[in-house]
Amino acid sequence: MGRVPKKVVVDFFFDVVSPYSYIAFELLQRCNVKWENMDLKLKPVFLGGIMAATGNQGPAMLPIRAQYMNKDLPRLAEYYNMPFQFNAHIQKLFFQKGTLPTQRVLGVVKKDYPDILESLSSDMFRRVWADNEDITCDGILKTACQKAGLTDTARDEVLSASISDTGKQELKNLTQQALDFGAFGVPTYVAHLDDGPKMIFGSDRLFLLASYLGHEWTATRND
């Protein structure tokens, strides 16, 4: 009685390039409002680094699987009532410029301005997977930082820190953390339970996370 329930730390490793991370992120934000015993910690990583380190390949590399994903993703988004649109610039985002600049900015924000990490991550995810934006364009990160509430000075600090060696190292460290927990892709989440950390992979394993935290998961469309 009167005892504050112990919170369970849940790390969420993500890269905004991953559409299934977007779905998991949106779902987790809903859960975070309802689940009082979850202490959600957002951890931006570089998916390219995880794939290279584990020898894994993105599911979309196989044409027939990519065709399936083209149907699966809109189905999931529709089921869960989330805005979703395929990104017309995805080839560029995957293979040319990549999400390194974005993920590095998120890494710096996590360290220096943790209060705006969730809103900035949400904004970047939506730009890619709901609004069909090309986030590799100059100025997008600047605009997004401002929108998330950073002052001009803070924004400029974050942007220059993100291309410094420490900024780069920050993202490397977070990526290594994910690898140490056994990640081979994203979204990966780690629930730090009393009997040790439990690593879970995929937007479709939230029912397991719910059961670990003692919550009902009804898979309803507003879960």
| Alpha-carbon span 4 to 211, nearest angstrom | 20
Q: Is 18 a known active-site residue?
A: yes
Q: How far is the CB of 71 from other proteins (least distance, A)?
A: 8
- For residue 112, state whether it binds other proteins (rule: CB under 8 A): no
Residue with tokens 């975070």: 32
Q: How far is the CB of 57 from other proteins (least distance, A)?
A: 8
Binding region for other proteins (CB under 8 A) out of 20-28, 53-61, 87-95, 129-137: 53-61
The residue among 78 and 152 lying less far from other proteins, judged by its C-beta, is: 78
Positive or negative, the Cα torsion across 83, 89, 91, 97? negative
Q: How far is the CB of 61 from other proteins (least distance, A)?
A: 10
Own/partner pairs for 167-171, CB < 8 Å, 24+ apart?
Answer: 167/104, 167/107, 167/108, 168/104, 170/104, 170/107, 170/108, 170/110, 170/111, 171/44, 171/45, 171/46, 171/100, 171/103, 171/104, 171/107
Task: Determine if residue 149 is left, alpha or beta; phi over 0 gives left, psi from -120 to 50 gives alpha, anything else beta.
Answer: left
Binding residue for other proteins (CB under 8 A) from 55, 81, 138, 195? 55
| Alpha-carbon span 148 to 122, nearest angstrom | 10
Binding residue for other proteins (CB under 8 A) from 90, 140, 154, 208? 208
- 38 forms beta bridges with 8
Binding region for other proteins (CB under 8 A) out of 26-34, 37-45, 71-79, 81-89: 71-79
The residue among 147 and 221 lying less far from other proteins, judged by its C-beta, is: 221
Question: Quick check: 125 and 82 in contact, CB under 8 A?
Answer: no
Binding residue for other proteins (CB under 8 A) from 83, 114, 149, 182? 182
Active site residues: 18
| Interface with other proteins (CB under 8 A) | 54-56, 62, 64-65, 67-68, 71-72, 75-76, 79, 179, 182-185, 199-202, 204-205, 207-208, 211, 216-220
